[in-house]
């Protein structure tokens, strides 16, 4: 791991456990996560950053405006079996993640690589999201499935 990667990992760890919400958001931004305005990232939210040999793959995780992410949620920007022999079967997955505007992610939800969550969608607590979520829907379960549509709310 390079010095830059080590510094980024320290900043990410600080962000996860930082008690101040505005500082937590600033630290995640410093790590390369693109975060919109009026976003609330609660204590204990873990964003696993996609790393390359040269450092963090910046901008691979995008969080829109007015997004609320509850305590304990995990956004998995990179997943692989590391040094296991399974790496020949399961290559590294660091596809981009996009969380659009006005999304609410419940406590302990997990967002996996390659997922886009549409505007005004709700992800229930404990859900594991492994595929795209359309706008104005509620998804829950493991793996997350559509529970219902919700009315689109016009922005004022």
Residue 16, domain member (yes or no): yes
Find the length of the chain.
156
pLDDT value of residue 105? 98
> 74 phi and psi, to 5 degrees?
-130, 125
Q: Residue 27 and residue 18: Cα distance in Å, rounded?
A: 9
pLDDT value of residue 147? 97
Position 80 confidence tier, pLDDT thresholds 50, 70, 90: confident
Residue 51, domain member (yes or no): yes
Residue 93, domain member (yes or no): yes
Position 4 confidence tier, pLDDT thresholds 50, 70, 90: confident
pLDDT value of residue 41? 96
Residue 154, domain member (yes or no): no
pLDDT value of residue 73? 98
**Structural domains counted in the chain:** 1
> 24 phi and psi, to 5 degrees?
-60, -45
Residue 59, domain member (yes or no): yes
Residue 130, domain member (yes or no): yes
Find the domain containing 36 and state its range. Answer: 3-149
Highest mean pLDDT (candidates 16-25, 27-36, 138-147): 138-147
Residue 155, domain member (yes or no): no
Give CA 92 to chain center in angstroms. 17
CATH number, domain of 23, equals 2.160.10.10
Token readout for 110 is: 């997990």
Token readout for 21 is: 């919400």
pLDDT in tens, 41-62: 999 999 998 876 666 667 799 9
Q: What is the pTM of this model?
A: 0.89
Q: What's the CA angle centered on 73, arms 53 and 7, to 5 degrees? A: 30
Residue 156, domain member (yes or no): no
């Amino acid at each position: 791991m390079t010095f830059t990667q080590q510094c980024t990992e320290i900043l990410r760890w600080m962000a996860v456990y930082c008690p101040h919400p505005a500082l937590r958001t600033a630290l995640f931004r410093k790590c390369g996560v693109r975060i919109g305005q009026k976003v609330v990232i609660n204590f204990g939210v873990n964003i696993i950053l996609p790393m390359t040999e040269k450092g963090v793959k910046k901008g691979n995780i995008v969080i829109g405006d007015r997004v609320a992410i509850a305590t304990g949620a995990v956004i998995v920007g990179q997943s692989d079996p590391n040094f296991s022999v399974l790496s020949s079967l399961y290559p590294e997955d660091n596809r981009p993640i996009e969380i659009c505007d006005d999304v609410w992610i419940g406590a302990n939800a997990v967002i996996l690589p390659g997922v886009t969550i549409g505007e005004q969608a709700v992800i229930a607590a404990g859900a594991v999201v492994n595929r795209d979520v359309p706008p104005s829907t509620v998804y829950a379960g493991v793996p997350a499935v559509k529970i219902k549509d919700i009315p689109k709310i016009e922005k004022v």
